[in-house]
Structure formats: structure tokens, C-alpha cells
Amino acid sequence: MTKPQRGIQSIDVGGRLLLALSRSAGAMMLKELAEAAEMSPAKAHAYLVSFCKLGLMEQDATTGRYDLGPFALELGLTSLNRLDPVRIASAEIGALAERIGHSIAIAVWGNFGPTIIRFEQSVRPIHVNMRTGTVMSMVETATGVLLAAYKSPVVINLALAATHPERASQAEARRRVDAMNDVYADVRQRGLARVQGSPIPGINAISAPVFDHSGDVALAITALGPASEFDARWSGPIAAELRDAAARLSTRLVADSRPRLNHGQETQRK
């Protein structure tokens, strides 16, 4: 068993104040912060003075309440900007393709709409025109339907304008998307989208959303394979595997966006 690394106790202790403040609904008084961090107000005040000097916290001159400071905000934004959902998902799809025996694609919402950014062929390759940069239909493909279901009309209109420069074709595309409203609602309820034998005859696909820390869809993971071998049932094993994989990735993205203290913090609190 690996021994826990030894840290600096004063940082672990002070970190409890930052953790307490980050978990609160708003600014806190000294007494509230001290109580949440399980330390005396006098001890907490010394840490708060240092945190305010660093910009990790700030104190309202009128109310005396403490809140997170500009440096804490800067750290949070930097951390979020460095999150790479695609990198995290890419590490998952190889094993997923192997488990289900079918190919897996990762797609994000790009300037032109649902866009494939990674495709992992299974041991049973399929002949589909799907490569990095392929823009998927928002009304015919599982990937496109899945991502469009979580986008606002404004965002969808921007994508349609980019992919259908002629006014007439854009209006027709908008009409087709509008006709999908009930389908999109069903996708959001199920947490999955699927197609069976369309738009590519003989190919089934199921797609699942991966959510980021803000609750927005970061990407879609889609399994696809020959209809004769691909179980497209909502309750089937492929759907279950996709749900589980998407849930794990979503949890990872949310967890990676939260400030975390040293593992030894709980030991210090006892």
C-alpha cells in the first residue's frame, strides 16, 4: 500500500476555509466560516488575512462578510479552460468499442453543427463516410439528433445559416429541424438518440450525451454497427454501456472542475 504523501499542515488547515466558502451559497461571516472549517474564529482570521492579501478571498467593507476573491476566480477560469473533454473521452472509447464490439465516434458542436472529431473502428470495421470534420445531419443521424436536442434555436439557426447559405435551402432545413421538436424532447427524456437503418441502409447507431460542469453537453459518444449485429433496443446492452460511459465521463468532467484539497485534509480535521 502506498503511504500518503506528507504535506504542509498549515496549507491543509487553511484550505478548509477555502473549501467551506466555495461550498456556501454566498459570502460568509467570520464566525460562520470558522465553524464550517472546524476552527476557532481567531485562528480562522489569521488565515483569512493572508488569503485576502493573495486575492483568494475578499472582505466586504460594509458587511464584513468574506467571499472568494479575484485570484480565486482567475484560478477557476484557468482550470476550466484547461479541461479537455475530448482528451478524457478519447481515453474511454477504445475500451468501450472493444466491450461492445462496435465502432465509436466522438462528436462536438462546431460552427457548422454536430461535427465528428474522433472515430474508433471496432474489430469489425464498417464502411461509412465518417471521419474527423464530418458534419452530421441534425434530423437523420443519432449523433446530430442527440446534440441538436440540447441546443437552443439560436445556436441551431447559426449552424443552419453556415451550412445552408441559400435562403430557400436554409428555410427548408429550418422546417425539417422544427419538425423534430417532439423527437428532441424524447431524446432529452431518455438521454439517448438512435437511428435504425438510416441514413445509411443497414447501419444502426445510438448516441449518448456527456455533460460538463455547467450542465451543458460537452460532446456526444455514438456507437454504430451493422443492423444485423447491432442491438438498438433502448434497454439493450449497447445502450446500457453507452449510458454508463457517458455518465462516467460527465462525472469526471464535473469532478475535475471543482477545487480539491490534499487527500490528507480529512486526517488533519480529525
Q: What is the pLDDT of residue 221?
A: 97
> What SS3 class is residue 225?
strand
Grid look-up 449510458 returns 243
pLDDT tens-digit profile, the chain (270 residues): 445 567 788 888 889 999 888 877 778 999 999 999 999 999 999 999 999 999 999 999 999 999 999 998 888 766 655 657 888 888 888 899 999 999 999 999 987 899 998 888 877 767 777 777 889 999 999 999 999 999 999 999 989 988 887 888 889 999 999 999 999 999 999 999 999 998 888 999 999 999 988 889 999 999 999 999 999 999 999 999 999 999 999 998 887 655 543 444 443 443
What's the predicted TM-score (pTM) here? 0.66
Give me the domains of the chain, ranges plus CATH numbers: 9-81 (1.10.10.10), 84-256 (3.30.450.40)
Start-to-end CA span in the chain (Å):
22
Q: What is the pLDDT of residue 85?
A: 83
For residue 124, report the phi and psi dihedrals to the nearest 5 degrees: -110, 80
Strand partners, 57: 68
Q: What is the pLDDT of residue 83?
A: 54
> What SS3 class is residue 115?
strand
The H-or-E segment that residue 109 falls in is strand 103-110
Q: What is the pLDDT of residue 73?
A: 81
- Cell numbers describing residue 14: 487553511
